[in-house]
């Protein structure tokens, strides 16, 4: 069986919530490096986080389920500017301009491209790094 990596997690609680959601939908998946990183979280940068591995035939459905769950979750939050409940998560890639920056990032974080998530209001266009508190 061929498994592909769909996502990585720094937090075992979030990883297990997503894993359980997918398994409840009969998606063939597991977490790689979960036990190692739960015991020693300081290894997270070296191993690149816990990896959500999904069977290749279930990957598309798994992405759909994760996107639907995140969209439902984000409806609980209002934009801090216009107060609309129209937030979406956007992934932003930070590529390094020089090879030295990519090398340092690769050594410290286990990856040469930094991926961050921001939240954007679809109504007013305001974007921010953290969800507002209730």
CB 128 within 8 Å of CB 116 = no
- pTM of the predicted protein model: 0.74
16 contact partners, CB below 8 Å, separation of at least 6: 31, 34
pLDDT digits (tens, 9 = 90+) for 99-131: 776 666 666 655 555 667 899 999 999 999 988
CB 50 within 8 Å of CB 6 = no
Mean pLDDT of 65-91: 92
**Phi, psi values for residue 37, rounded to 5°:** -80, -25
Helix (H, G, I), strand (E, B) or coil at 96: coil
CB 104 within 8 Å of CB 110 = no
């Amino acid at each position: 069986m061929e498994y592909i990596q769909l996502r990585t997690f720094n937090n075992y609680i979030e990883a297990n919530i997503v894993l359980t959601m997918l398994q409840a939908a009969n998606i063939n998946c597991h977490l790689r490096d979960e036990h190692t990183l739960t015991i020693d979280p300081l290894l997270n940068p070296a191993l690149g986080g816990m990896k959500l591995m999904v069977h290749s035939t279930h990957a598309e459905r798994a992405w759909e389920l994760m996107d639907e769950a995140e969209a439902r979750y984000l409806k609980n939050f209002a934009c801090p500017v216009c107060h609309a409940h129209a937030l979406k998560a956007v992934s932003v890639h930070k590529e390094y301009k020089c090879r030295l920056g990519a090398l340092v990032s690769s050594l410290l974080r286990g990856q040469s491209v930094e991926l961050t998530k921001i939240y954007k209001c679809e109504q007013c266009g305001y974007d921010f790094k953290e969800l507002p508190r209730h």
